[in-house]
A = this chain, B = another copy of it.
Amino acid sequence: MTGTTEHAVTLQDLRVGQVFETGSVVIGRDDIVAFAASYDPQPMHLDDVAARDTLFGGLVASGWHVAALTTRLVVDARPFGATPMIGAEIERLRFRRPVRPGTRLTVRLTVEAFEESRRPDTGYARIKVETLDADTGEVLMVQGWKMLLPVGDGA
């Protein structure tokens, strides 16, 4: 690690129980509709009036939109520094609560476990990823990321 180059985080830099928190972003009505028009064009995501007649009683974001914004918040927070975020697997992604326009999202990452990979110079970290309503603290979405990370020099 030098003064001018961002540190590339390795598995040896992490410990079980370690928590990272990200910044926040408001998910707006127009963004919800635009994402849905491209990727999940269903009434509950596209139109306020049509959404009233659905299970949700009003417009809600596509779960994939919330997942994509979750990734954006984590990428921007750079918890692994210069190490690229490479996901091998998502374990059990649960949509806990509908996400309505105007919700401010933030993300909490918790390191849960480590696993070996086939290559000796890499390994996996299991990380719990919770997407929260930043104002109420409610968990909106929770998932487990199995991430590929380099093994440090000291391993």
Binding site for B on A (CB under 8 A): 35, 38-44, 54-55, 62-64, 67-69, 71-72, 75-76, 84-95, 143
Contacts and interface: CB of A to CB of B under 8 A. Distances in A.
Contacts of A75: 40-42
A91 B143 CA distance: 9
Which of A42, A64, A72: most chain B CB closer than 10 A?
A64
Contact of A67 (B41, B42, B64): B64
Given A40-B71, A40-B75, A71-B62, A89 B94 contact: yes
B95 A92 contact: no
Given A39-B69, A64-B64, 17 more contacts: A35-B68, A40-B68, A41-B72, A42-B75, A42-B84, A54-B84, A64-B67, A64-B71, A87-B95, A88-B94, A89-B93, A89-B94, A89-B95, A90-B92, A90-B143, A91-B92, A93-B93
A68 B92 contact: no
B90 A42 contact: no
Nearest to A93: B90
A130 to B, nearest CB: 15
Nearest to A43: B84
A31 to B, nearest CB: 9
Contacts of A84: 42-44, 54-55
Contacts of A44: 84
